[in-house]
A and B are shown apart, each in its own frame.
Chain A
């Protein structure tokens, strides 16, 4: 009887050891974080990601800066650069897409190009105006920012993002279209229309979780 119990306990110890050895690498694995190049393409789920945002920004930057609208404005205004305000970019897809990422890229390109002036948007202005009002009361006279000196924008950048999805079994195709428009604030004339399209083919593996 005791021999049977001893062999059972040995078997249990062996099973325990095997299990411990098998689980040890998993326990030591944990989380792995590494910094990677922000320009690298990293598609995980197939949803909208940073790569799409960068592709849209690049396309719109190139299209808008290569178009003649800013040059024509400067030519007809004695070298003055056109002032642009960023308006609303509507996300008409079902996904949550932070449109601010490529809009900021576009804004940055406009400012850095030196061909266009960008004024603060409606939301950004509130804080600046509050600060200016505050200065009128509390700042030294020679350092106060003057009232009524805001630069009026001539053009407003607007746009929208749309998506079309098609799915069958393990395959899915997502098509994104980003349209951007620059509208003359006085005449409503569209002086530039930019567009970028992205089509993604997503195939789930048969053995995927």
Chain B
């Protein structure tokens, strides 16, 4: 009986004991760890060959681009900026790229160049290029990927500093409008405020005034309504466009709010 108890308790002890690990070691004292120099040397050789080929191709493209360019386009290529009227090769030269960077589709006289990889889109001096459209082998329009969206350059004035600012202001206003629609008035005010620095447009002041009015900030709203009316007056004097006709409702509302807010402030 006692022997049985002994056997059972020994078996129980064996069952409770931790399992031994039987794994063959893959590295032991005295072994050697290989140096990574062989891998580095292999990559080095390949990179040197690839780089030489690519640089050679790029130089070839640059030479081809500058061979038959007008002075303006030549200057743009040298500055590294896209320009309307450039050829496909000149686009590559201006963006310092090779055909490997682009996915090019042709249909009749139209050609579209888009980045092969969106995460490695080509850039020119102004920003990241989203798309280049060519008609009869000449750039008809091109676009940039900006923080606020896509900015299109379809006319020479779009490529100027003022054109870019106006385009960015448009994007900010659109973003602000979306935020107003979602009810985020603080964020919308921020976008309109930034847009007002880029473009002196009375309608931006009107939007800012309206938001301030909605946020129950009468003093600031009053200033903005007045600014809006003052700018319109200036536009009227300068006889630029039909601002009054287009903004009749806004003007009426602004005048009404000015009277109300002035009365409250007194």
Partner-B contacts on A (CB < 8 A): 37, 39-43, 51, 54-55, 57-58, 61-62, 65-66, 70-81, 105, 109, 112-115, 168-169, 171, 173, 184, 187, 189, 191, 201
Is B107 in the interface zone, CB < 8 Å from A? no
Q: How far is the CA of A77 from the CA of B47 in the complex (A)?
A: 14
Nearest CB to that of B98 among chain A residues?
A78
**In the complex, which range does the number of interface residues on chain B fall in?**
35 or more
**Hey, which chain B residues are within 8 Å of A113, CB to CB?**
40, 43-44, 47
| Contact (Cβ within 8 A) A78 B97 | yes
| Contact (Cβ within 8 A) B31 A41 | yes
Q: Which of B30, B57, B120 has a CB less than 8 Å from the CB of A73?
A: B120
| Contact (Cβ within 8 A) B47 A78 | no
**Hey, which chain A residues are within 8 Å of B122, CB to CB?**
76-77
| Contact (Cβ within 8 A) B34 A72 | no
Q: Which B residues from 45 to 96 make CB contacts under 8 A with A?
A: 46-48, 50-51, 53-55, 57-58, 96
Nearest CB to that of B28 among chain A residues?
A41
Nearest 3 Cβ contacts at the A-B interface: A79-B54, A115-B47, A76-B120
Report if A41-B39 is in contact (Cβ < 8 Å); known contacts: A75-B101, A81-B51: no
Q: Which B residues from 202 to 259 make CB contacts under 8 A with A?
A: none
| Contact (Cβ within 8 A) A61 B96 | no
Least CB distance, A178 to chain B, in whole angstroms: 15
Q: Which B residues from 15 to 54 make CB contacts under 8 A with A?
A: 18, 21, 23, 25, 27-36, 39-40, 43-44, 46-48, 50-51, 53-54
| Contact (Cβ within 8 A) A40 B44 | no
**Hey, which chain A residues are within 8 Å of B46, CB to CB?**
115
| Contact (Cβ within 8 A) A41 B32 | yes
Q: Which of A41, A54, A72, A184 has a CB less than 8 Å from the CB of B30?
A: A41
**Hey, which chain B residues are within 8 Å of A169, CB to CB?**
18
**Hey, which chain A residues are within 8 Å of B50, CB to CB?**
71, 74, 79
| Contact (Cβ within 8 A) A55 B48 | no
**Tally of A-B Cβ pairs under 8 angstroms:** 116
Report if A41-B97 is in contact (Cβ < 8 Å); known contacts: A51-B27, A113-B40, A201-B21: no
**Hey, which chain A residues are within 8 Å of B116, CB to CB?**
76
| Contact (Cβ within 8 A) A41 B40 | no
Interface centre among B30, B33, B47 (most CB of A within 10 A): B33
Q: Which of B18, B33, B40, B44 has a CB less than 8 Å from the CB of A61?
A: B40
| Contact (Cβ within 8 A) A76 B43 | no
| Contact (Cβ within 8 A) B18 A78 | no
Interface centre among A113, A173, A187 (most CB of B within 10 A): A113
Report if A168-B101 is in contact (Cβ < 8 Å); known contacts: A73-B120, A76-B120: no
Is B115 in the interface zone, CB < 8 Å from A? yes
